[in-house]
Amino acid sequence: MLVLAFAFLIEFLQLVNILEMFNLQNNHLVKLILGSTFQISDVVAYTLGILTVIIFELKLKNEN
């Protein structure tokens, strides 16, 4: 769940234009690491990915 919280944090920082707030919109390395545009589809994909991992972990745990 910590990974999902981190992914959401990065995505919502993109929503508030964190790069522009710190005048980093021209820094290519920071743009590569943090991204530059908010996409709701990314949030959905992160959530579905974590749910998939949780389901697999629970199934493996129940088999043992």
For residue 64, pLDDT beyond 80: no
Range of the domain at 37: 2-63
> Residue 1: what pLDDT?
87
Number of domains in the chain: 1
| Amino acid 16: pLDDT | 95
Please report, for residues 11, 29, 30, 37, 52, the alpha-carbon distance to residue 41 in angstroms, rounded to integers and kept in the order given.
10, 23, 21, 11, 16
Q: Which of 59, 16, 57, 51 is nearest to 36 (CA)?
A: 16
pLDDT tens readout for residues 14-56: 999 999 999 999 999 999 999 999 999 999 999 999 999 999 9
